[in-house]
Amino acid sequence: MESGGARFSHLGYTAAMVRENPFERESRRLNRLFALELLACIDASAYPARNVTTGRAVMRTGTVPKALPFVEAGALQAVIHTGADGQRVVPATFEAGEIAMCSMLFSASAVHADIVTARPSRLRWLPRDVVESAVVAQPQLGPPLIRFFAQRLREVQMRERIWLSRGLKARVWATLMREVANAGPDPDDRSVVLLTHEALAERAGVSRPRLSMTLKAMEREGLVRIGRGRVEVLGH
């Protein structure tokens, strides 16, 4: 399969819409740096790794996590609810080498995100109290964690500004492209998003009725083909 930017550029989509945030790469680097420092200070082998299939929610909004997932392989996607109606969301991803939801460290609050596997993943759940104790006891862990938090805040702010400034169709299209990029190559060389309209609406930050209306309009334009629990993005 061709890259999203190359294949769909004639439809107004570019690779920049998948990697639209200039701060994301640096956030990922700093997260991995903190993870490396942390794993050198604790016995991670004491906490078994588990394989998880695509599309599984490993952490849900409203829960207080007792452990944080270290992504050994695959990727996680966070859908963060920012609006009073629960429809405004900011997508974020955690890839191999990263620890998801470090923002929950030293906090008793519930998470405001659904953490879902974007593709088959291998996760090692690190107890939060173990991570927190290591940060307190090991001075070298403080600076990389603080730098990561500062960078992640800038990333989220930038992503939110870009996301909310778009029109409805552009937001739905960008969400489809992100899901296609996360899914990887299809055996039949097709670009298929295996999500219900409800799940896709959450990721796009729109209501389900508005998403359905937009998808139907895009189908009439020949941009997508809608099926039950799936949307095929057409390259021609």
Domain-wise residue ranges, the chain: 16-164, 167-233
* pLDDT tier, 100 (very low <50, low <70, confident <90, very high otherwise): very high
Tell me the per-residue pLDDT of 123-153, one tens digit each, with 9 for 90 and over. Answer: 999 999 999 999 999 999 999 999 999 998 8
Decide if pLDDT at 218 tops 70.
yes
As a CATH number, domain 167-233 is: 1.10.10.10
- Cα torsion at 85, 207, 102, 45 (round to 10°)? 130
* pLDDT tier, 79 (very low <50, low <70, confident <90, very high otherwise): confident
Picking from 61, 82, 54, the residue whose alpha carbon sits closest to that of residue 194 is 54
Q: How far is CA 96 from CA 29, 102, 113, 204, in A?
A: 11, 15, 19, 24
* pLDDT tier, 234 (very low <50, low <70, confident <90, very high otherwise): confident
| pTM score of the predicted model | 0.63
Q: What pLDDT score does 16 carry?
A: 35
Tell me the per-residue pLDDT of 163-195, one tens digit each, with 9 for 90 and over. Answer: 666 678 888 888 888 788 777 666 677 888 888
For residues 170 and 175, give the distance between their C-alpha atoms in angstroms, rounded to a whole number: 8
What value does the mean pLDDT take over residues 49-67? 90
Q: Which of 95-104, 149-158, 180-189, 221-230 has the highest mean pLDDT?
A: 95-104
The percentage of residues in the chain with a pLDDT greater than 70, rounded to a whole number, is 80
Superfamily of domain 16-164: Jelly Rolls (2.60.120.10)
